[in-house]
Structure 1
């Protein structure tokens, strides 16, 4: 039996509410709306899901509830932007599927990586000073999965690494960006991470640990990192998401664009801008780590510290 559609949208009708937790846990109602929007706009459902989950906290009430009509509109808005962004970098995207064994591991050009991360990564930016790596297809040498590795800048994480694990902050490198296209084979990210670890061990002799932050609010659980033998070593308190004119912005992006990240000051000095922050409680980020040399030890949950912002 076909599902009736709302006039003019091509999407199932929306009524009632869903919680942010329902959405990030892929509740059937959320999955149905997501799949319909992805089909209509011909965009990858995984990328659309992440973008939408990033923007839903702007709409959610303090109890974490979002109206289904709001959810439908947000899916459409993000699908339109994702389709446009994909068109901007289509010359850099591999169109064909290959077996994992056929992909080639390479150092990837900064200019190309910056274009992809600035258009397609949910943060819509590349991290300055990064080393970029990719698995590329064997025919056109276009990226299938790519990541950036950057000296760790997160001071709270660096302090905990030194205090609990004896790793100086300057010996830690952060996997700050990861993006995988729809054509990527299973286990592409974990394989890429393993090759990156080998390269860092060989080319950065002072590096001791690789780190990354996994945000469960976006539906991430760290599966690819676990598959690459990374371990969760700590977590860090979630802070509200920030938005400018309805679009997510990191504090770093706000400081670069406006000279600060204090919303009250930004509202006062930029009366034409619309600065918002999420009101609902968000889930803590998980900090995964991997020793560059030797085995990465598991940390019992009781010994995993929760860092405060």
Structure 2
């Protein structure tokens, strides 16, 4: 939980402390506490004011509603949910198909698979069930692509983006970094990809440690865009444009539709991690990391 979230009362627990206590409800609902924490962090800004204040009861409502939905989402892919913990030696790297879409559409916090992507996973050698998954596709984010071209000389056509990563609770601790390393080797054989990028949102508790462990480096940041909610549920820009083709911005949708709402609290910048497909990925010092404005 971002430290920017606090409650108005100077006595008693902060919202961060209250949410940490509320997340203990994960066990009662039979859901993974880590996944519930991410979904809670994503939805709390819907109720926070500009100073980041959220009432205890609003926080409780967010935790409970997300626990209920997560339980429903887990049930939708119950045949894929692992029943035990795995060692890395029990898994093998594969390119997969429909199972990736099912997992990302149900369990990833953004809840929508990136269509047209290549999907990869570490799977159970015996059953083929995925434990840790990711998807990659040509980079479409023009502002990031322009900065990569200008600062690092890599053409956009040679840059791919890791847009989704998900790891089940039964996967080994180093599964994500190992999967990313295998994806890098896979793309080396293609010959047309020079660089991988990905976006890490620190507002959701992510740090990028799995990327750093597999030859990635922090190259730039992007000014945070407000989160958008529709009927109280997070909506990505892709989902907004698909549902409202004539709308150009979050603020425009919020002005047109009372069921739409944007976050008011200041959010931390997104982190752009990059990885060279061949050779070591150079470290970019903080003073040389550009901040991209949206």
Establish whether TM, by shorter chain, passes 0.5: yes
Residue number among 171, 189, 211 corresponding to 1:184 in the alignment:
171
Contact 1:214 1:222 in 2 (8 A): yes
Q: Which residue does 1:96 correspond to in 2?
A: 84
Instruction: Tell me whether 1:74 sits opposite 2:62 in the alignment.
Output: yes
Q: Which residue does 2:234 correspond to in 1?
A: 248
What does 1:160-199 correspond to in 2, within 5 Å?
A: 160-199=147-186
What is the CA–CA distance in structure 2 between the aligned matches of 1:164 and 1:92, rounded to whole Å?
42
Contact 1:229 1:290 in 2 (8 A): yes
Residue number among 140, 149, 155 corresponding to 2:142 in the alignment:
155
- Structure 2 residues without counterparts, runs of 5 or longer: 8-14
Q: Which residue does 2:11 correspond to in 1?
A: none
User: What's the secondary structure of 2:171's corresponding residue?
Assistant: coil
Instruction: Tell me whether 1:233 sits opposite 2:222 in the alignment.
Output: no
User: What's the secondary structure of 1:91's corresponding residue?
Assistant: coil
Q: Which residue does 1:33 correspond to in 2?
A: 22
User: What's the secondary structure of 1:174's corresponding residue?
Assistant: strand
What is the CA–CA distance in structure 2 between the aligned matches of 1:191 and 1:278, rounded to whole Å?
35
What does 1:100-115 correspond to in 2, within 5 Å?
A: 100-109=88-97, 111-115=98-102
- Pair 1:264–1:33, CA change in 2 (3 A): closer
Q: Which residue does 1:54 correspond to in 2?
A: 42
Residues 118-174 of structure 1, C-alpha deviations (whole Å, 9 max, x = no match): 111011101111000000112321010000001000101000000000000111000
User: What's the secondary structure of 1:112's corresponding residue?
Assistant: helix
Q: Which residue does 1:285 correspond to in 2?
A: 270
Instruction: Tell me whether 1:128 sits opposite 2:115 in the alignment.
Output: yes
User: What's the secondary structure of 1:148's corresponding residue?
Assistant: strand
User: What's the secondary structure of 1:92's corresponding residue?
Assistant: coil
- Pair 1:61–1:268, CA change in 2 (3 A): closer
Q: Which moved more, 1:214-223 or 1:67-76?
A: 67-76
What is the CA–CA distance in structure 2 between the aligned matches of 1:261 and 1:251, rounded to whole Å?
10
Contact 1:254 1:261 in 2 (8 A): no
What is the CA–CA distance in structure 1 between the aligned matches of 2:248 and 2:61, rounded to whole Å?
28
CA root-mean-square deviation = 1.9
User: What's the secondary structure of 2:273's corresponding residue?
Assistant: strand
Alignment coverage as a number of residue pairs: 286
Normalising by structure 1, we get a TM-score of 0.88
Contact 1:19 1:66 in 2 (8 A): no
What is the CA–CA distance in structure 1 between the aligned matches of 2:152 and 2:268, rounded to whole Å?
25
User: What's the secondary structure of 1:83's corresponding residue?
Assistant: helix
Instruction: Tell me whether 1:221 sits opposite 2:246 in the alignment.
Output: no
Contact 2:230 2:259 in 1 (8 A): yes
Normalising by structure 2, we get a TM-score of 0.93
What is the CA–CA distance in structure 2 between the aligned matches of 1:81 and 1:37, rounded to whole Å?
13
What is the CA–CA distance in structure 2 between the aligned matches of 1:206 and 1:155, rounded to whole Å?
19
